[in-house]
Amino acid sequence: MLQDYGSGRWIFRLGLVSFTETEELIIPLVNSETLEGYEQRDEKEKIGYLRAKAISDLVNELAVTFLDEEKNILSGKLEDDLISIILKVELLNKIKDVSIEKIYRARSVVEREVAGYEVLGGLLDTFIHAYNNYLDGNLSKRNLAIINLLPKRFIIERDDDLYNRLLTILDFISGMTDSFAVSLFRKIKGISLPEGRVTD
Q: Give me the amino acid identity at 18.
A: S
Q: Give mean pLDDT, residues 172-187.
A: 88
- How far is the C-alpha of 99 from the C-alpha of 89, rounded, in Å? 15
CATH number 3.50.30 given to 8-105? no
Enumerate residues 6+ apart whose C-beta is below 8 A from 62.
Answer: 82, 83, 86
Share of the chain above pLDDT 90, in %: 22
In the chain, where are the structural domains located?
A: 8-105, 109-188
Secondary structure class of 150 (helix, strand, coil): coil
14 — pLDDT class (breaks 50, 70, 90): low
How far does Cα 100 stand from its chain's mean position? 17
pLDDT tens digits for range 82-97: 989 999 999 999 998 9
34 — pLDDT class (breaks 50, 70, 90): low
Q: Supply the pLDDT for residue 93.
A: 92
Q: Give mean pLDDT, residues 27-34.
A: 81
Q: Supply the pLDDT for residue 4.
A: 42
Per-residue CA distances from 87 to 63, 90, 133, 134, 192 (Å): 13, 8, 55, 56, 50
Do 39 and 112 touch, CB atoms closer than 8 A? no
Secondary structure class of 148 (helix, strand, coil): coil
Q: Give me the amino acid identity at 66.
A: F
